[in-house]
Amino acid sequence: MVTPVTVTMVLAAVVLSLLAIAMAWVLGWANKTFHVEVDPKVEAILDVLPGANCGGCGYVGCGEYAEAVVHADADVALCAPGGAGCAQRLAEIMGVEVTESAPYRAVVHCAAKRYQRLQQTPYDGEVTCASANLVGGVQGCTYGCLGLGDCTRACDYDAIHLVDGLATVDYEKCIGCKACARTCPRNIITMVPFKCERMLVVACSNQDKGPDVKAVCEVGCIGCTACSRKAELMHMEGNLPVVDYDRYDATADFTEARKKCPREGMLYVGKPSAEDLAAVAGETLPDRVEADFRTTVDDTEWRG
Amino acid sequence: MPSHEPTAAERFINGIIPENPVYRQLLGMCPTLAVTAGMKPAMTMAAATAFVLIMANIIVSLIRGLLKPHLRILVFTLTIATFVTIADRVLAAYLWEMSKALGPYVPLIIVNCLIISRCEICSSKQGPGVAIADAVGMSLGFALALASIATVREILGAGTWFGLPVLSATWWPTWGVMMLPPGAFLTLGLLLGLAEWIGQKKKQSSA
Amino acid sequence: MDTLIALIQIAIGAALINNFVLYYFVGICPFLGVSRRVDTAFGMGCAVTFVISIAATLSWAFTYFILRPEAPLPTWVWETLGGDPGTKVDLSVLSYIMYIFVIASSVQFVEMYVRKFFPPLYKSFGVFLPLITTNCAILFACLKILAELQDPEQLWGLHQALTLAVGGGVGFTIAICLMAGIREELDMCDVPKPLRGAGISLIVAGIMAMAFAGFAGMDSGIKDALAMFLK
């Protein structure tokens, strides 16, 4: 019976099937014609990489780094979050040798909390270190941490915070992506290879000497050179001591040097030791409330 | 890997307020803003979405064994499109005025992020019972969200609720902006802020 | 000349007066999600405009020739089967399914094409393409074209459909770039905690919608102005 309803239904089914077949055919053809040759090694490397797209390797994302390793001879050990294990596996995929290396972590070369900085003036400008650095005169020390949080905002891993106005790295969370080091307008954050859980660092960047430093800071290094004379891994560059991290190892002993230091010039930084954890075991952590803005598009999973 | 898969009852309760699609997951904003000028269109849209969500969840859950990974989104979308066509035709047949008022927003249920997201997350991996519970919970949550926004907009914007006069026109200057797009955005933004604030207060008091 | 003025009216209508995001509320998810920085926002806007034009063209073609009540194909089939010319065969029930099919396939096709022939372009907005498949804005443009094709008085041709699509895409790009610029500034402001993220973005969108409402009447104004000039 050729009623309009029958014809509609049959025609609808036919049109849809034809459309589906046509689209499938076109897409199949496109898949073959537009096929982009992807080296299987790139896929394998992408699987190994953590996929954080942090940019710490110097490439825009993990995809870029994978391609650079395969096609552009990039070093296999550049992935900081991946660490030594990732470098090892990348080396296996590429068939090269990898030298044992330590993970790099961010170190802030300043120990002055806000109440230890002298000659501070009230600052009402834009609350960023970059602006305060340009304006000048916000605090006496022109080398040290301004404590306005550019590094905290640059960090995607919640690994650096302002404690009493001083940028402080949380070594449980830092993955060494160098975002904070790149952002700091005073360049006082450097990447240090962490060969041990806790490393000795020089916690000052002030290149002036003696009375000039004392005028602007209660704890900065005055360049007395006592430490470099006592510790063989330290030497002076200008008025600041520098630790030789290439020769640094667990046996390095800085106790004499630290006893001699009249200021707070050298600190051990890193993950908290067992004694530190035991000391604060009784206290509860204050709640940090953060806005939870998850959208469907921010996730890497498909959402519409 | 979750330590335990939520049960059907848990999913049902989850969808209403804890994982409310609009206030917590921020999905399905397009219809939330578009149809909440009054309670009637809002509830019609909620009913239509509920129908599509439940039916799509059932079907996807039944065919979940046959889904190829790279084609699954297309399959979800086609299933949803079928049910939306049904819903649209039913509305056009029995509620012509409302269908005209809702206009292009009924077919836009096809691309409502909420439905595809539930198919992807829940019904493509769980049995029909759990999928139905999840769908019903989410639909209730969505209806609740739409109702809250539509109530604010309709009462402030026209002094009525479901068409029944609530605020007398003699002393309430109806806020025309509430019926227009800016009112929709502002209402949703402020209500989202309120929901967030309530959530934070709850976290603080329970912490 | 009248056609050109009508096209300009459609374009301005779709881009400014009846902006897809700020008036019709479509495309809110990417509007809120991708508008953190202006360059990503612009990439998303370009991708949407690109896909909307392709999808609109294909869906116009399918609707004009197959899906509307008086379309050539079903009429031809009906009459070949000896049906009486008074009753028509109406396939418009397939519209939504067909549009979704068209959109999903064309996005897939475009993604493959761009990846092969324009790698730098793929790197900049390729990742947005799968997200656009369910962008309400694309389907909305197709539905608007369907509405105009179902009205026997309007019966839009391809030029009108394409103008609406591109105008809508451009309007989306304008809105999303404006939002991205504002959000970059908002990052430095002290927004109350409950409103951070989605809340303040929606309030800003509301104010933008009010601003864009000021464009109302611009299309007839331009029409009159152009009619005067081109007389």
Asked if A295's CB is within 8 angstroms of B26's CB, the reply is: yes
Residues in chain C: 231
Asked if C192's CB is within 8 angstroms of B182's CB, the reply is: no
What is the model's pLDDT at position A299? 44
Checking if the pLDDT of C173 tops 90, the result is: yes
What is the model's pLDDT at position A56? 66
Asked if B84's CB is within 8 angstroms of C96's CB, the reply is: yes
**What are the pLDDT digits (tens) for C6-58?**
888 889 889 998 999 899 988 887 788 776 778 878 888 888 898 899 999 99
What is the model's pLDDT at position A285? 66
* Nearest residue of C to residue A295, measured between CA atoms: C33
On average, the pLDDT of chain A sits at 81
Structure tokens at B6: 């939520």
* C-alpha distance from A254 to closest chain C C-alpha (Å): 43
CA distance C153 to C141: 19
What is the model's pLDDT at position A87? 80
Collect all residues with Cβ–Cβ distance below 8 Å to B152 and sequence separation of at least 6. Answer: B178, B187, B191
CA distance C25 to B184: 9
Q: Which residues of A touch B (CB under 8 A)?
A: 287, 289, 291-296, 302-304
Confidence of residue A298 (pLDDT cuts 50, 70, 90): very low
Amino acid at the residue B4: H
Size of interface B-C (CB pairs under 8 A): 117
For B89, other C-beta atoms within 10 Å of its C-beta total: 13
Residues in chain A: 304
ipTM: 0.85
* C-alpha distance from C26 to closest chain B C-alpha (Å): 6
Q: What is the mean pLDDT of residues B90-110?
A: 89
Q: Which of A15-24, A78-87, A284-293, B103-112 has the lowest mean pLDDT?
A: A284-293
CA distance C220 to B1: 59
Checking if the pLDDT of B94 tops 90, the result is: yes
CA angle B33, B35, B37 (to 5 degrees): 90
What is the model's pLDDT at position A12? 85
Residue pair A56/A177 in contact by the 8 Å Cβ criterion: yes
Amino acid at the residue A279: A
**C189 interfacial to chain A (CB closer than 8 Å):** no
Confidence of residue A297 (pLDDT cuts 50, 70, 90): very low
Instruction: Report the percentage of chain B scoring pLDDT > 70.
Output: 96
**B113 interfacial to chain A (CB closer than 8 Å):** yes
* Nearest residue of C to residue B89, measured between CA atoms: C93
Give Cα C12 distance to the centre of its chain. Answer: 13
Question: Domain residues of chain B, as ranges?
Answer: 2-201
Checking if the pLDDT of A303 tops 50, the result is: no
What is the model's pLDDT at position B148? 92
What is the model's pLDDT at position C133? 67
Q: What is the mean pLDDT of residues A113-121?
A: 89
Collect all residues with Cβ–Cβ distance below 8 Å to C146 and sequence separation of at least 6. Answer: C59, C63, C67, C68, C92, C95, C99
Residue pair A132/A123 in contact by the 8 Å Cβ criterion: yes
Q: Which residue has the higher pLDDT, A244 or C82?
A: A244
The percent of chain A in helix, strand and coil, each rounded to the nearest 5, is 35, 10, 55
**What are the pLDDT digits (tens) for A199-223?**
888 989 888 888 889 999 988 888 8
Asked if C104's CB is within 8 angstroms of B193's CB, the reply is: no
Q: What is the mean pLDDT of residues B62-70?
A: 80
Picking from A291, A296, A302, the nearest residue to B26 by CB comes out as: A296
Residue pair B40/B163 in contact by the 8 Å Cβ criterion: yes
Give Cα C103 distance to the centre of its chain. Answer: 12
* Nearest residue of C to residue A303, measured between CA atoms: C131
Confidence of residue C167 (pLDDT cuts 50, 70, 90): very high
Helices of type H across chain C: 2-12, 28-33, 38-62, 72-80, 95-117, 119-125, 129-132, 136-150, 158-186, 198-213, 218-229
Q: Which residue has the higher pLDDT, C78 or B194?
A: B194
Q: What is the mean pLDDT of residues A32-59?
A: 74
Residue pair A167/A151 in contact by the 8 Å Cβ criterion: yes
Instruction: Report the percentage of chain B scoring pLDDT > 90.
Output: 32
**DSSP letters along B175-191, please?**
-GGGGSHHHHHHHHHHH
Asked if A295's CB is within 8 angstroms of B117's CB, the reply is: no
Q: Which chains touch C (3 or more CB pairs under 8 A)?
A: A, B
Residue pointed to by tokens 């609707």: C63
Q: Which chains touch A (3 or more CB pairs under 8 A)?
A: B, C
| Highest mean pLDDT of the ranges A11-20, A241-250, A252-261, C157-166 | C157-166
Residues facing residue A202 across a β-bridge: A266
Asked if B82's CB is within 8 angstroms of C140's CB, the reply is: no
**DSSP letters along B40-55, please?**
HHHHHHHHHHHHHHHH
What is the model's pLDDT at position C90? 80
For B63, other C-beta atoms within 10 Å of its C-beta total: 13
> In chain B, which residues have their Cβ closer than 8 Å to the Cβ of A287?
203-204, 207
Asked if B185's CB is within 8 angstroms of C205's CB, the reply is: yes
CA angle C15, B156, C23 (to 5 degrees): 5
What is the model's pLDDT at position B3? 45
Asked if A16's CB is within 8 angstroms of C97's CB, the reply is: yes
pTM attached to this predicted model: 0.68
Q: Which residue has the higher pLDDT, C93 or A60?
A: C93
CA distance A92 to A78: 15
